[in-house]
Amino acid sequence: MADWQKKLFASAVSLAVVLAVSELYLRTADPLGTRYFDETYVYFGAMVPDTVVYYHHPPSATQTYPSWSVTFNADGLRGKDLPVRKNAGVFRLLILGDSVAFGWGVPTAQTVGPRLAELLATRYGSEVEVVVDAVGSWNSVTQLRELYSRFDRLDPDAVLVLYVDNDAENKPEVPGWGHGIPYAQPPRPLLHRLAWVKTLKGLSLLHGKKPPKTAEQLQLDEEGEHESIRALGEIQRLCQAAHIPFSVFSYQDDLVPLHRLASETKALGLPWLDASTDLPWSKIKGYGNSPLDGHFNGEGLRIFAEWTAEHLPAAFRSGPRRVGRVSRTLLDGIDGEVKELPWGQRSGKGFIVPEAPLFFLVRAVPPDTGPHPPQAQLTGFPPGLKLPSQLRYGRWEPVLLADERSAPLLLRLATPGQLEATPAMLLHRPLEASATPAPPPTP
């Protein structure tokens, strides 16, 4: 072997040793927290597609990560199984949110739900149950759809939305999965699994300069912000119809939607409580899971849960007492106990919707005789409506508008059958006396 070949071989061996040692160190120490890339890949890869909320946690499943694990109950929620009917005397607080409310990266006992339940029960002596319905990367519109679709099952006595900046993100359409699956990707190449490659990626994210947004991206951001605030308004209307308190909590002092849409938020009368004055970002920014993963760690969630426990009763004290509930089942149709109030006007195979709200429901009824395809095709005027691409006959499906309209809409079936439509807010069923919950806790 020639001298140059020996030198080349020695250099290659030295480089391999350096890479191996650095790989071992970065995998073990993980100074930037690059495990976040791997964990989110596994987490979102296990999502179950859903026709209403687009994606949801797998029911009755457990996911284990290096420093934490999560168990989903039969409803796909984090925590223990919910009873078929809520226990008498229990005050159930429902928290809607995304990965922050979910408690990303920490054990279940350290998340907001269990901590808040313990704090409220200790302070006010009531039997308080906190149910957290939160999925990573959900936005306000998804949370609205979730509440509409599972209101009866969740059976809340009060609703709290934990709002963060990406709740206003306009989720892109992902072919094959539906709307909003953010990390539905093919298997990663081996090179992208190496710790030093992930570290370089992390350094780029932390210290690299982000390119300016295009005009199209800015337009999507603006649309997402408007949709977010309007979706919160719809959640508020639903809670008002069900006679239960509602509030929005946030802790970020730079929420863009609030600054841009202050007048719209005020016009809707959203009951918003901002923790950023008492918990400024300068005080809580050190309570993240890692440099790359800014989600609250266990200590950060403890601080926020204590603040929430202190301010929550005041937020709900002036709210209406619950005397009924809204019944809304999107997946299985409407049962015979629900009274459907007159709304709109049929027009042949179509339906004229007057002064359409942001969110309503449609159902395709198959023809009495003659063949028809397995699914109905829905069309509408004016264009720009976010209509379900296909309807299963006999099944209620949600329609979400880009904005509220004072002018009527015309919806039509392009397939045989008749179309029915109803505003979800007009579907109401009295609450059975045996299921009357305890009043909200008061100091």
Of residues 286 and 336, the one with the higher pLDDT is 286
Whether the CA torsion 114, 441, 232, 436 is positive or negative: it is positive
Give the mean model confidence (pLDDT) for residues 59-69: 91
Which pTM does this prediction carry?
0.72
Strand partners, 351: 346, 411
Say if residue 385's pLDDT is above 70: no
Q: Is 340 left (phi over 0), alpha (psi -120 to 50) or beta?
A: beta
Lowest mean pLDDT among 12-16, 28-32, 130-134, 236-240: 236-240
Q: Helix 35-45 crosses helix 195-207 at what angle (to 10 degrees)?
A: 100
Helix (H) or strand (E) holding 413: strand 409-413
Dist CA 256 CA 165 (whole Å): 7
> According to the per-residue pLDDT averaged within each range, which of 156-165, 215-224, 251-260 is highest?
156-165
Q: What is the pLDDT of residues 210-248, one digit of tens each?
A: 888 888 888 888 888 888 888 888 888 888 777 788 888
Q: What is the pLDDT of residues 396-442, one digit of tens each?
A: 777 766 555 555 666 777 788 777 776 654 333 332 333 333 444 44
Lowest mean pLDDT among 23-37, 51-65, 192-206, 261-275: 261-275
Who contacts 162 (Cβ-Cβ below 8 Å, separation ≥6)? 95, 96, 97, 100, 101, 112, 134, 249, 250
The confidence score (pLDDT) of residue 423 equals: 61
Who contacts 24 (Cβ-Cβ below 8 Å, separation ≥6)? none
Give the mean model confidence (pLDDT) for residues 12-39: 88
Lowest mean pLDDT among 43-47, 104-108, 311-315: 311-315
Give the mean model confidence (pLDDT) for residues 88-92: 81
**C-alpha count within 13 angstroms, C-beta hemisphere, residue 194:** 11
Q: Helices (H), strands (E): how many in the chain? A: 12, 22
Say if residue 342's pLDDT is above 70: no
The confidence score (pLDDT) of residue 231 equals: 87
Lowest mean pLDDT among 4-18, 66-80, 83-97, 375-389: 375-389
pLDDT band at 443 (very low <50, low <70, confident <90, very high): very low
Mean pLDDT across the chain: 76
pLDDT band at 78 (very low <50, low <70, confident <90, very high): very high
Say if residue 183's pLDDT is above 60: no
Of the candidates 38, 39, 78, 40, the one whose C-alpha atom is nearest the C-alpha of residue 58 is: 78
The confidence score (pLDDT) of residue 381 equals: 65
The confidence score (pLDDT) of residue 339 equals: 32
pLDDT band at 176 (very low <50, low <70, confident <90, very high): very low
CB 127 within 8 A of CB 90: yes
CB 147 within 8 A of CB 233: no
Of residues 358 and 377, the one with the higher pLDDT is 377
Structural domains of the chain sorted by starting position, each given as residue range(s) with its CATH number in brackets:
35-172+194-325 (3.40.50.1110), 345-426 (no CATH)
Strands (E), 11-125: 48-50, 54-56, 61-64, 69-72, 91-97
Helix (H) or strand (E) holding 133: strand 128-134
Who contacts 172 (Cβ-Cβ below 8 Å, separation ≥6)? 180
Of residues 147 and 367, the one with the higher pLDDT is 147
For the chain, percent of residues with pLDDT exceeding 90: 19
The confidence score (pLDDT) of residue 358 equals: 57
